[in-house]
Amino acid sequence: MKKLILATALLAPFALAEHAEIIGNVESKCSITTDTQGVYGNPLASKLSTLAADGGVLPILRYDIITAGSYKAVIGYPNEFASSPALNDIVTWTGSTIVGEVSDASMSAFETNKVEYNNITEFPLSIAGTAWFNVASEANYGYLTALPAGQYVATVTAECVAI
């Protein structure tokens, strides 16, 4: 009994703790999420397109921006196949990247201030929040030449570069 009282007395200070701290840090960070993996539709024998009107699915990327003005998004639509059957003719690539949904209406500035060159579009991530980017891609083979049957894979590059 004495031992039990002694043990209780020793443990008592720990039981008297009034609060516990939860510590968290919010640090500058950019996260890239694949929201939707794109799929090519094949509306013509010579054409692959991610547009819904062509039976495709647009790739959609989500960028989470914790601190405004720390990063820029650099997004590139495909300009070659990463994997395809043997192709003997020229493939003509076109595409575009636009701002889709945004968590803050002022993020429309991303679209206004974007810079385009080659297949790349750069967006200054000047506002914290979440932004979705839609990437359209189209590949036309030769002059209305039928694409050979097989597997076609193309790569969308999504970069977040600290500035």
Interior CA angle at 117 toward 105 and 67, to 5°?
40
* Binders in 107-136 for another protein, by CB under 8 A: 128-130, 135
Residue 161 touches another protein, criterion: CB under 8 A: yes
Shortest reach from residue 128's CB to another protein, in Å: 8
Strand partners, 48: 139
Shortest reach from residue 20's CB to another protein, in Å: 19
Token pair in block for residue 126: 């000047």
Residue 105 touches another protein, criterion: CB under 8 A: no
Token pair in block for residue 105: 């209406």
Look at residue 6 and give its three-state secondary structure: helix
H or E segment to which residue 15 belongs:
helix 2-15
Contacting range for another protein; rule: CB under 8 A; set: 2-10, 11-19, 76-84, 111-119:
76-84
Q: Residue 133 half-sphere exposure, CB side, CA atoms within 13 Å?
A: 32
Which residue among 7, 39, 90, 146 contacts another protein (CB under 8 A)? 39
Shortest reach from residue 81's CB to another protein, in Å: 10
**Whole-angstrom distance, CA of residue 69 vs CA of residue 120:** 20
Residues that bind another protein in the complex, under the rule CB under 8 A: 26-34, 37-42, 48, 50, 59, 61-62, 64-67, 70-71, 78, 82-83, 103, 128-130, 135, 137, 150-163
